[in-house]
Amino acid sequence: MKLSKIFLLAGAVLAFASCSEKEEWNTSNEAVVSMANEAMTVSEAAGMFNIPFVVSGERNAPVQVTFEVAPVEESDQLAPAVADENYLLTSNVINVGADSEKGNLEVIAVNDDKVNAKNRAFVVTIVSVKGGSIDAEKASCVVTLKDPSPYEAMAGKWTMTTEAGSKWNVTVHAAAEGDPDYNNVLYVTGMMGYDWTVLTMPYSFNYEEGKPEVYIKAGELFAEGVSFSGIGVCDIYLYNLVDGYLTTTDFAATVSADTKSIDFGPATFTGGLFQGGAFTGYVWFRESGVKMTR
């Protein structure tokens, strides 16, 4: 999973920013809106995700699409997912420009940290389109929120602390199924208080102990193109400071039995500043006693 994938959602939000109230809508009578999928399944631990829809036909102005969400009826396989309890809908009205053929309904899954007897599900339905019509045969999508796998359950918001008293809100990102990193690598963003810093955290599952095992890779790119006063623009690489030397010894970790904490022990996380591939002799930070909790 490349770093660019982590920030994909931010771009999606900008791409479909709302138009002004004075916007004139499409008048071509050719625009048709449909859901991209009849059904989709997402992990409860996915956090923010998109439900895609399609706009076809020639247009001379934007269209505005309004959606409704409703829980599915209880069945042998599924339980109803309730809005604002099991998931959050950021907006049910989406504007799509005249040149765009795709749109996304943005949803945030809520992880209840429980093993449920049934997966929960809800239905998204297109109910109106300003400047277009609805494809009645493809107007709905059933979204199932499944219990996360142990790998997926590691994703989400954590708090990182250090021996010196530093504290940051960080996010653990899991790869999607089908990605080579799925079940193999997690990424942690937010150390030092910036979302553009990244720690690479390989993952495996210890079946004898019944819990995940992780560590942080040393020698990896931590942040790119950061400007420092008196030094200039640098790339920062993460190193393990051992006996005064920057080493590529990985940061071993202990995961608690309830997977609510990760302790990296006394190792010293160090951010070395590099220019043109060469170490400048400066470091951004040295932090020992790093822990993550949730």
pLDDT at 136: 96
Asked if the structure places residue 24 within a domain, the reply is no
Domain housing 207: 150-293
Quick one: 233 and 129 in the same domain? no
Residue 262 within a domain: yes
Does 287 lie in the same domain as 155?
yes
Q: Which residues contact 74 (CB under 8 A, 6 or more apart)?
A: 80
Q: How far is CA 58 from CA 26, 101, 128, 178, in A?
A: 9, 10, 18, 34
Q: Is residue 72 part of a domain?
A: yes
Do 157 and 282 belong to one domain?
A: yes
Q: Is position 19 within any domain?
A: no
186 and 261 fall within a common domain: yes
Q: How confident is the model at residue 118 (pLDDT cuts 50, 70, 90)?
A: confident
Predicted pLDDT at 249? 98
Same domain, 281 and 210: yes
Q: How much is the mean pLDDT over the chain?
A: 91
Query: Are 157 and 281 contained in the same domain?
Result: yes
The predicted-structure confidence for 35-64, as pLDDT tens digits, reads as follows 999 999 998 888 889 999 999 999 999 999
Read off the pLDDT of residues 127-180 as tens digits, 9 standing for 90 and up: 999 999 999 999 999 999 998 889 998 998 999 999 999 999 999 999 988 899
> Quick check: is 175 in a domain?
yes
User: Where do we find the tokens 């400066």?
Assistant: 282
Q: Are residues 196 and 115 in the same domain?
A: no
Task: Tell me the per-residue pLDDT of 222-246, one tens digit each, with 9 for 90 and over.
Answer: 999 999 999 999 999 999 999 999 9
Q: Are residues 141 and 154 in the same domain?
A: no
The reply to whether 166 and 247 lie within a common domain is yes
Does residue 135 contact residue 129 with C-beta atoms inside 8 Å? no
Q: Are strands 32-35 and 133-134 parallel, antiparallel or unpaired?
A: parallel
CATH code for the domain in which residue 9 is found: 2.60.40.2030
Residue at a domain's end among 95, 128, 146: 146
Total count of domains within the chain = 2
**Does residue 257 lie within any of the structural domains?**
yes
Which of 8-17, 123-132, 183-192, 251-260 has the weakest average pLDDT? Answer: 8-17
